[in-house]
């Protein structure tokens, strides 16, 4: 992934500043270090953001996050994506199952460049088979507490069990719908969304 030398210098400064201070620099601090105007820095940051190399939160001055690893050994200022996500457990795609925590990490290439906080879950069961999510697959989940109608979610039930289902509001209740015509939905009074599925990984 080639970037300009100035962009590489900006990334190095942001990364070093953040590691030292535990928060990111402001536009002015970057501009002062690089020796250009804030407008020029903003143009570079927008370009890097479009390519998924950084993330920023709007209206926050210290919210720049470098989403890639920098590699000085490569010619042309190549940026290598950070490719590891935590494998946080296994989740049923059948009846609800208690979620397990795990210290494992999986390397999934540049699939997640430009996304928010994500994690992996290994699928157990075939209740989502009609959505092409099978037993043994890994689902990539964006950590979120809210979901839109019809999104596939990691749902935490009131009894402490988790399940992978499509999410729907049904009056005052919530319907967790399997993608398997042989299975019935789970209808509950309350549910906590822990993540929304953004991708599926499968090895053959």
> Domain-by-domain residue ranges, the chain?
5-81, 84-201
Residue 106 burial class via C-beta count within 10 angstroms: exposed 0-12, middle 13-18, buried 19 and up: middle
Question: 122 CB contacts (<8 Å, ≥6 apart)?
Answer: 87, 89, 90, 91, 136, 137, 138
Do 5-81 and 84-201 share a fold?
A: no
Element (H, E) at 39: helix 38-50
What's the pLDDT score for residue 177? 96
Share of the chain above pLDDT 70, in %: 77
User: Catalytic site residue 127?
Assistant: yes
**Do the beta carbons of residue 182 and residue 89 sit within 8 Å?**
no
Note if the pTM is more than 0.75.
no
Higher pLDDT, residue 189 or 111: 189
- For 40, the 3-state DSSP assignment is helix
Instruction: Find the mean pLDDT for residues 133-149.
Output: 90
What's the pLDDT score for residue 147? 93
Beta bridge pairs of residue 167: 176
The two three-digit tokens of residue 135, written as one number? 């037993």
Residue 13 has pLDDT above 90, yes or no: yes
Residue 183 has pLDDT above 50, yes or no: yes
Q: Which CATH number fits domain 5-81: 1.10.3720.10, 1.10.10.10, 1.20.120.1200, 3.30.1300.10?
A: 1.10.10.10
What's the pLDDT score for residue 151? 96
Instruction: Find the mean pLDDT for residues 89-105.
Output: 59
User: Catalytic site residue 203?
Assistant: no
What's the pLDDT score for residue 56? 85
- Candidates 164, 121, 122, 116; CA nearest to 143 is 116
What's the pLDDT score for residue 100? 47
Q: Express each pLDDT in 54-68 by its tens digit.
A: 888 877 778 898 877
Superfamily of chain region 84-201: Umud Fragment, subunit A (2.10.109.10)
The two three-digit tokens of residue 57, written as one number? 């939160």
**Do the beta carbons of residue 56 and residue 114 sit within 8 Å?**
no
Opening angle at CA 167, ends 163 and 170, nearest 5: 120
Indicate which residue of 6, 116, 165, 192 is catalytic. 165
**Do the beta carbons of residue 118 and residue 41 sit within 8 Å?**
no
Distance CA 47, CA 200 (A): 28
Instruction: Find the mean pLDDT for residues 157-178.
Output: 93
Indicate which residue of 6, 37, 127, 134 is catalytic. 127
Residue 124 has pLDDT above 50, yes or no: yes
Share of the chain above pLDDT 90, in %: 43
Q: Express each pLDDT in 101-112 by its tens digit.
A: 555 555 555 455
């Amino acid at each position: 992934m080639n970037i300009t030398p100035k962009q590489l210098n900006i990334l190095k400064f942001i990364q070093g500043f953040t590691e030292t201070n535990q928060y990111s620099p402001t536009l002015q601090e970057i501009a002062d270090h690089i020796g250009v105007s804030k407008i020029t820095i903003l143009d570079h940051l927008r370009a890097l953001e479009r390519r998924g190399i950084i993330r920023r939160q709007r209206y926050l001055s210290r919210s720049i996050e470098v989403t890639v690893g920098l590699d000085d050994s490569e010619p042309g200022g190549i940026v290598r994506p950070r490719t590891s996500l935590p494998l946080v457990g296994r989740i049923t795609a059948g009846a609800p199952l208690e979620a397990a925590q795990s210290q494992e990490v999986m390397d999934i290439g540049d699939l997640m460049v430009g996304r928010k906080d994500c994690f992996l879950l290994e699928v157990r069961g075939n209740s989502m088979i009609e959505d092409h999510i099978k037993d043994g697959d890994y689902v990539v989940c964006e950590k979120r507490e809210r979901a839109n109608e019809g999104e596939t979610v990691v749902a935490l039930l009131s009894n402490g069990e988790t399940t992978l289902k499509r999410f729907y509001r049904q009056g005052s209740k919530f319907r967790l719908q399997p993608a398997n015509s042989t299975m019935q939905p789970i209808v509950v009074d309350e549910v906590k969304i822990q993540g929304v599925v953004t991708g599926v990984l499968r090895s053959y």
